[in-house]
Amino acid sequence: MRELLLELCRLHGVSGFEDAVRDVIRAYAKPYADRIEEDPAGNLMVYKKGTVGAKTVMVSAHMDEVGFLITGIQADGTLRFAPVGGIVHKILPAMRVAVGERALPGVISMPPPHKGRDKLLKPGDLVIDIGAGTQAAAEKLTYPGDFAAFAGDPVFFGDGILKAKALDDRLGCAILLMLLRETFACNVWYVFTVQEEIGSGAMTAAHRLKPDLGLVIECTTAADLPFVKGALRTCSFGAGAVIPTADAGTLYHPALVAAAREAAEKAGIPWQDKWTIAGGTDAKAISQSGYGVPMVAISAPGRYLHAPVSCVKWSDAEAVCGAARAFLHTLHGKRDE
């Protein structure tokens, strides 16, 4: 799974521009899929028939990542931009970015350190510099409506820690592709969704598929840093898969949560709850589709999410994959009456 995840994290797939990610995922999924569909919203849906095949589960992860939208080109060739998704403004100055499908190298501007160093700069105070000296030169390279993504290669460091952009949620995508290689008793739709970071494309997929239940695989915030106290840490880095009772968007189905936790324990996989009601996933949109879908989530604790330096401990990634596999094996195919 390591090399697969590294490849997925290198791809640029800002919300609304998931094409490159979708193409690679489709290629990896094709040898193991019974059927592959794509809906008009751009969600990629991969079907694997179960050995019993009565109950249908939607297992989802989102393909998109936070990034930027180019909103204009200045006379000096620099680019105006707006964030796509939740990005903390204070990390923007001097950030490296890649612009458009050609991944043009760029950098977000920064005032000289002797002037305005304490001012909190907003996107409207900054520009992206792609080295074009004029508006005409820049227009040959990009256009308003193009995207810019975080730049930087994924690397492993320290005690089995992966640093990369887009771990939220390419980690989930990689896990879905690993699970797809197996056959479970239940039917499974592996759904790679679009635009989760700005809302959700998952509702259209769930409305189309009408699953009996849903499982979201995600990367969730671990704020376990020295200056963050108690429950505000949310969950712990290195303590295993997060199987939450609730988050800011969803109260997960109690019976499914209990079943997922029990399956993890029986498989010897460490798990933890969230200590705060924070964050959100595609589960909200999926649960509200059609006549309603009972949901459960299994997530990896991640540090510095929505930044170029997001981090996940590899043992947690393996725990999420193992916990999801164990949970799916408990669904023996019998549809609840």
Distance of CA 30 to the CA centre of its chain: 21
- Contact assessment for residue 92 and residue 307, using Cβ atoms and an 8 Å cutoff: no
Catalytic residue among 196, 197, 265, 337: 196
- Contact assessment for residue 43 and residue 200, using Cβ atoms and an 8 Å cutoff: no
Residue 232: name the closest of 280, 271, 274, 273 by CA. Answer: 274
Tokens 């709850």: give the residue: 273
Is 196 annotated as catalytic?
A: yes
- Contact assessment for residue 246 and residue 166, using Cβ atoms and an 8 Å cutoff: no
- Contact assessment for residue 180 and residue 29, using Cβ atoms and an 8 Å cutoff: yes
Half-sphere exposure for 330 (CA within 13 Å, toward CB): 20
Residue 308: name the closest of 166, 107, 173 by CA. Answer: 166
Identify residue 129 by its one-letter amino acid code: D
Residues in the chain: 337
Residues catalogued as catalytic? 196
